[in-house]
């Protein structure tokens, strides 16, 4: 059975408590984990700490912590601390993010993202194991230090996010899991072939790697409102978040639509960008509509062989009440 987790809203919320309350509702409804995104709003560490201290069972994790804004050793320290705070409930998601955020917000060069991700993965594992760190990589050379505190009693799985063939192969070869976002069912099946290739190259077993697909979902009695919110969310990602999502959609057979949406958004015509998202694309990339329709749409993603977990996410424009309604409708066992 496919697990269900929550992908907390990427859009700004009224307060940290709002995010904590969403996670608590997820715990009450049986979701396995609360993933917290980090873009240019509240930092993920503080939010995860609050969630950990105000919940009892639900797992926590960043999806994703980028591999540019914190050093790999600091990210390892942070992971070890969050594992302690949460009593062993952390699963770490890392990845390069994209040049729009890394260069425009953090002021760092978006250099060698795949190599950098691999080195972060290796260094974080070394730090959290408690061993003395001796690392000689292409990007990082570190030596002589180890955690001053005891390492976590429960080891921390480290997942890698990626959309392109090589990044997914890297996840299969080295990571404990792969995080996918903005994928159609057919696009997921194609990328899972890259994951399998990475698993083979790493001489690993398929059970060693957990696949999590994040979905934009909105289940409301007002089905048209739900679909409008999902359409606005998708237009923003394709039009405003750099080239990664547009290129990913193009690889999945929607090149013309992706380019037209991005062109309309960049010209400032956001309404037209939303209108350029056809019904079939909306249904291919997310779950939106009335409760009955949303549950039915979710089944096609649950049926993808190789997806272990669906992360239920929410449109940027959704209200707290609409988020809560969607959590309830799509909860495990419903």
pLDDT tens track for 116-130: 999 999 999 999 999
Q: From the CB of residue 44, how many other CB atoms can be counted at a distance below 10 Å?
A: 24
Assign domain 1-63+206-334 one CATH number from 3.10.180.10, 3.30.360.10, 3.30.365.10, 3.20.20.30. 3.20.20.30
pLDDT (tens digit per residue) in 138-197: 999 999 999 999 999 999 999 999 999 999 999 999 999 999 999 999 999 999 999 999
Q: Please say whether the beta carbons of 145 and 77 come within 8 A.
A: no
- pLDDT given at position 132: 96
Q: What is the DSSP string of 124-150?
A: HHHHHHTPPEEEE-SS-EEEEE--SSP
38 half-sphere exposure, CB direction, 13 A CA radius:
26
pLDDT (tens digit per residue) in 1-32: 789 999 999 888 999 999 999 999 999 999 99
- pLDDT given at position 1: 74
Confidence at 261, pLDDT banded by 50, 70, 90: very high
Look up the pTM and report it.
Answer: 0.95
Whether 334 has a pLDDT exceeding 90, the answer reads no
Whether 241 has a pLDDT exceeding 80, the answer reads no
Domain ranges of the chain: 1-63+206-334
Q: Please say whether the beta carbons of 77 and 147 come within 8 A.
A: yes
- pLDDT given at position 316: 93
- pLDDT given at position 147: 96
Q: Which residues pair with 287 in a beta bridge?
A: 217
Confidence at 217, pLDDT banded by 50, 70, 90: very high
CA dist., res. 112 & res. 102, Å (int): 12
Q: Please say whether the beta carbons of 45 and 18 come within 8 A.
A: no
Whether 318 has a pLDDT exceeding 80, the answer reads yes
Whether 210 has a pLDDT exceeding 80, the answer reads yes
φ, ψ dihedrals at 114, nearest 5°: -70, -45
CA dist., res. 161 & res. 173, Å (int): 13
Q: Please say whether the beta carbons of 176 and 157 come within 8 A.
A: yes
Question: Residue 205: helix, strand or coil by DSSP?
Answer: coil
- Measured CA to CA in angstroms, residue 170 lies from 3, 123, 135, 177, 202 at distances of 23, 15, 19, 10, 9
64 cis-preceded (ω within 30 degrees of 0): yes
- pLDDT given at position 74: 98
Q: Mean pLDDT over residues 72-100, rounded?
A: 97
Taking the chain, what is the end-to-end CA distance rounded to the nearest angstrom? 13
By C-alpha distance, which of 15, 28, 16 is closest to 6? 28
Q: Mean pLDDT over residues 292-319, rounded?
A: 97
Round the average pLDDT of the chain to a whole number and report it. Answer: 95
- pLDDT given at position 243: 80
Q: Which residues pair with 86 in a beta bridge?
A: none
CA dist., res. 228 & res. 265, Å (int): 16
Evaluated on CA atoms 18, 24, 27, 33, the torsion sign reads positive
- pLDDT given at position 2: 87
Rg (CA), the chain: 19
Relative to beta strand 133-136, strand 141-145 is antiparallel
For the chain, give the percent of residues with pLDDT over 90.
90
Q: Is 85 exposed, middle or buried (0-12, 13-18, 19+ CB in 10 A)?
A: middle
């Amino acid at each position: 059975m496919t697990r269900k987790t929550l992908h907390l809203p990427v859009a700004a919320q009224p307060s940290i408590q709002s995010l904590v309350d969403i996670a608590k509702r997820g715990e009450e409804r049986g979701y396995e984990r609360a993933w917290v995104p980090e873009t240019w709003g509240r930092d993920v560490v503080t939010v995860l700490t609050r969630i950990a201290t105000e919940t009892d069972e639900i797992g926590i994790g960043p999806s994703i912590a980028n591999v540019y804004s914190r050093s790999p050793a600091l990210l390892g320290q942070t992971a070890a601390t969050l594992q302690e705070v949460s009593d062993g409930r952390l699963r770490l998601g890392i990845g390069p993010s994209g040049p729009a955020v890394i260069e425009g917000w953090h002021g760092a060069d978006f250099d060698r993202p795949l190599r950098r991700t691999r080195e972060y993965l290796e260094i974080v594992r070394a730090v959290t194991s408690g061993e003395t760190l001796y690392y000689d990589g292409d990007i990082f050379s570190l030596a002589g230090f180890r955690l001053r505190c005891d390492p976590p009693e429960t080891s921390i799985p480290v997942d890698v996010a990626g959309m392109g063939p090589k990044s997914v192969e890297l996840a299969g070869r080295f990571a404990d899991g792969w995080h996918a976002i903005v994928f159609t069912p057919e696009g997921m099946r194609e990328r899972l072939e890259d994951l399998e290739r990475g698993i083979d190259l790493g001489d690993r077993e398929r059970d060693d790697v957990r696949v999590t697909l994040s979905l934009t979902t909105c289940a409301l009695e007002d089905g048209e409102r739900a679909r409008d919110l999902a359409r606005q969310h998708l237009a923003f990602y394709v039009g405003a978040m750099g080239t990664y999502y547009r290129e990913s959609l193009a690889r999945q057979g929607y090149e013309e639509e992706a380019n037209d949406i991005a062109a309309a958004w960049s010209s400032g015509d956001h309404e037209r960008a939303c209108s350029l998202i056809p019904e079939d694309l909306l249904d291919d990339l997310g779950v939106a509509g009335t409760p009955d329709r949303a549950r039915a749409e979710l089944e096609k993603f649950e049926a993808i062989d190789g997806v272990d977990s669906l992360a239920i996410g929410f449109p940027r424009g959704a209200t707290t009440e609409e988020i809560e309604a969607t959590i309830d409708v799509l909860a495990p066992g419903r």
